[in-house]
């Protein structure tokens, strides 16, 4: 029997994890399905389409998608989610009444309503002991407060990025990778440009996507201020210095002693140490 992996999210604050999907069961993004969990079974929403189970992962243990959710299970799931959304507004109102500098982002209520987790963001530490007592009286259940960071907050709230598409963190990213200024520098992006920041106010996750490509392409080029010789046709060469790089074009701007500059393709350039640079496409 053919087997697939499919991404299912059990709650808005949780990542979409991979579950094993049998070939006789079909599910699409947005469908509600019943999946195996360590505590039995739970209803979740399909967030990533099914894909073939890679050969390298066939020996790994994945929880299974048991079946599509019944109408009753889907109704209970949606009703609980609507109740959680109302609880967010109530929690925020009570927190504001306490004068607490925090933002309630989401609420997760267990199906049996024995516990309610309140996810919030705050710039500083918050003393929420009195708030917990207020919430316990309001909802008559055990309250757990969980502080999350700016990137997780944006993931839960969702939105549209400057590219015009749904935020990567909300649509397909399974975990957050460290993003550094070095990645922007490697791609010759202006570090003072506010467009480097995502909706969360942190460096955009998409800076990671092309970083490795830029690193590889840059490794074929000389460093800025490296003395070099540029072929000028007819067998002649002009000596100059590298002023700047055109990484994607695989060329450099060379400054010459007479004050002029010219963009020179990599195949028309020589410099000391070039013999140690591995040509593109050469296998290690």
Going by their DSSP bridges, the two strands 17-22 and 32-37 should be labelled as unpaired
- Quick check: 198 pLDDT over 80? yes
| CATH T-level topology, domain 75-148 | GMP Synthetase; Chain A, domain 3 (3.30.300)
Of 113, 168, 175, which is closest to residue 140 (Cα–Cα)? 113
- Measured CA to CA, the distance from residue 170 to residue 117 in angstroms comes to 20
Q: pLDDT tens digits, residue range 149-165?
A: 999 999 888 889 988 99
- Quick check: 10 pLDDT over 70? yes
Going by their DSSP bridges, the two strands 251-255 and 237-246 should be labelled as antiparallel
CATH 2.30.30.140 at 222-272, yes or no: yes
Of 137, 132, 142, 67, which is closest to residue 109 (Cα–Cα)? 142
**pTM exceeds 0.75 for this model:** no
The domains of the chain are located at 3-69, 75-148, 153-214, 222-272
Q: What is the mean pLDDT of residues 177-198?
A: 90
Burial class (CB in 10 A: 0-12, 13-18, 19+), 155: buried
Structure tokens that stand for 175 in this block: 């975990």
> Confidence band (pLDDT; 50, 70, 90) for 234?
low
Q: What is the mean pLDDT of residues 203-217?
A: 93
Q: pLDDT tens digits, residue range 45-59?
A: 998 888 898 888 888
- Quick check: 129 pLDDT over 70? yes
Q: What is the pLDDT of residue 243?
A: 94
Question: CB-based contacts of 219: which residues, under 8 Å, 6+ apart?
Answer: 277, 278
């Amino acid at each position: 029997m053919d087997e697939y992996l499919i991404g299912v999210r059990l709650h808005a604050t949780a990542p979409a994890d991979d579950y094993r999907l049998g070939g006789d069961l079909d599910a699409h993004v947005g469908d509600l399905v019943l999946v195996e969990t360590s505590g039995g079974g739970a209803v979740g929403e399909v967030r990533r389409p099914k894909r073939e189970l890679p050969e390298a992962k066939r020996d790994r243990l994945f929880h299974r998608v048991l079946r599509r959710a019944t109408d009753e299970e889907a109704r209970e799931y949606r009703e609980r989610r609507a109740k959680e959304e109302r609880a967010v507004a109530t929690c925020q109102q009570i927190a504001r009444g306490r004068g607490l500098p925090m933002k309630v982002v989401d609420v997760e209520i267990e199906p049996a309503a024995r516990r309610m987790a309140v996810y919030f963001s705050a710039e500083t530490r918050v003393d929420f002991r009195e708030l917990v007592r207020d919430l316990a009286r309001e909802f008559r259940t055990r309250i757990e407060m969980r502080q999350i960071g700016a990137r997780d907050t944006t993931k839960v709230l969702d939105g549209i990025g400057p590219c015009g598409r749904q935020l990567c963190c909300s649509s397909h990213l399974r975990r957050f990778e460290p993003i550094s200024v070095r990645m922007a520098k490697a791609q010759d992006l202006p570090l003072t440009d506010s467009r480097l920041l995502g909706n969360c106010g942190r460096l955009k996750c998409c800076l990671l996507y092309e970083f490795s490509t830029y690193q590889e392409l840059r490794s074929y080029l000389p460093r800025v201020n490296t003395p070099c010789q540029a072929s000028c046709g007819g067998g002649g060469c002009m000596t100059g210095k590298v002023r700047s790089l055109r990484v994607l074009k695989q060329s450099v701007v060379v400054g010459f002693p007479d004050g002029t500059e010219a963009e020179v393709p990599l195949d028309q350039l020589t410099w000391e140490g070039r013999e140690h640079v591995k040509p593109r496409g050469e296998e290690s």
